[in-house]
Amino acid sequence: GNKAAERLIGYKREELIGKSFLKLKLLSLADIPKAAKLLVKNLRGQPTGSDEFVLNRKDNSKVTVEISTYPVKIKGRTLALGIARDITERKNSQRKLRTMESAIAKSINAIALADLKGNLTFVNSSFLKMWGYEKDKVLKEVVKLFKSTLREIDIICRMGGDEFLLIFPDSSLKEAPLVRSRLEKNSSQLNKRIKKDYQIKFSMGFSEYLPDKPETLDELIAIADQRMYEEKKKNKE
């Protein structure tokens, strides 16, 4: 490892070279099967990542990282080159943001957030009750919007609250800008049609299933969810 790796996990280079990460207990027991699968891919000549892990540092503290690995051949041996990025601060910020959002959503006080143009970007249930807006009616309008915008083969799933999972068969991330453009255009038309004091808007995150780098549905949802929250945070700034 280099100096950055030493600072990240607290071990000196000489303490790491030639040692198994299993013996060093860098990974939790829960993460070992996941890491083993990635190593198998490296042995097959396939790169991996980025994948999230929680590492145990030498001082027993923990650090959350994103790791990408690449197979390299040195003197006829296939080895794994790993690149780790510390995302602990980002994860902590996300947890705080979600805790705050949850507290605001459940507050007995009517709370609404608006952008500089006066468009509402968030309202909690107390606000809806006070002003007589029915959230279910809004969600039904959103579903109608999806159905009128997307293809017949596309799949619409409500994940809970005001979050939806959209699945686009036979598509790639190249089509994401087109999907975004259509949804934004049709939502703008919907807002003009319903003529409410609030605006229906979306934060979106996309991920793609790649046959040569297969990921589970949960992993793909997590990637899209992360990108959606990053966009939502950016829109609030």
Question: Is 203 contained in some domain?
Answer: yes
For residue 29, what is the domain's CATH number? Answer: 3.30.450.20
| Residues 164 and 223 reside in one and the same domain | yes
Does 227 score more than 80 pLDDT?
A: yes
Comparing 5-9, 29-33, 110-114, 227-231, which segment has the lowest mean pLDDT?
110-114
CATH of the domain at 113: 3.30.70.270
Of the CA atoms within 13 Å of residue 66, those in its CB half-sphere come to: 9
Answer yes or no: do 51 and 113 share one domain.
no
**Selected residue with higher pLDDT from 125 and 189:** 189
Q: At what angle do helices 217-236 and 88-106 cross, to 10 degrees?
A: 70
The pLDDT value recorded for residue 78 is: 72
Q: 141 with 79, same domain?
A: no
Could you say which of 32, 54, 86 is where a domain stops? 86
* Percent of all residues in the chain with a pLDDT value above 70, rounded to a whole number: 78
Predicted structure pTM score: 0.43
Q: How confident is the model at residue 190 (pLDDT cuts 50, 70, 90)?
A: confident
**pLDDT-derived band at 178, boundaries 50, 70, 90:** very high
18 domain residue, yes or no: yes
Domain that includes residue 183, residue range: 109-236
Q: Is 104 part of any domain?
A: no
Check whether residue 38 and residue 123 sit in a common domain.
no
Per-residue confidence band for 206, with pLDDT thresholds at 50, 70 and 90: very high
Q: Do 119 and 70 have their domain in common?
A: no
The answer on 217 and 145 residing in a single domain is yes
Q: Is the pLDDT of residue 148 over 80?
A: yes
Residue 173 inside a domain? The answer is yes
| pLDDT recorded at residue 69 | 82
pLDDT tens by residue, 28-74 = 777 888 888 887 887 788 888 778 888 888 888 888 888 888 878 77
Is the pLDDT score of 209 beyond 80?
yes
Contact of 64 with 86, CB cutoff 8 Å = yes
Regarding whether 198 and 118 lie in a shared domain, the answer is: yes
In a domain, 102, yes or no: no
In whole numbers, what is the pLDDT of the chain averaged over residues?
78
Q: CA–CA distance from 186 to each of 123, 138, 146, 158, 228 (Å)? A: 21, 15, 9, 19, 19
* Domain end (from 33, 55, 86): 86
pLDDT tens per residue, range 149-166: 888 898 888 876 678 888
Q: Is the pLDDT assigned to residue 1 strictly greater than 60?
A: no
pLDDT tens, position by position, 106-147: 666 666 666 655 566 666 777 666 655 556 677 778 888 888
The answer to whether residue 11 sits within a structural domain is yes
Whether residue 99 is contained in a domain is answered as no
Q: What is the dihedral of CA 101, 63, 44, 170, to 10 degrees?
A: 10
| pLDDT attached to residue 71 | 78
Q: 211 lies in a domain?
A: yes
121 and 213 within one domain = yes
Residue finishing a domain among 86, 101, 136 = 86
pLDDT of 91: 80
Residues 48 and 164 placed together within one structural domain of the fold = no
Q: Are residues 118 and 81 in the same domain?
A: no
Q: How many domains, the chain?
A: 2
| Residues 153, 59 share a domain | no
Instruction: Give the burial class of 84: count Cβ atoms within 10 A of its Cβ; 0-12 exposed, 13-18 middle, 19 or more buried.
Output: buried
**134 and 81 share a domain?**
no
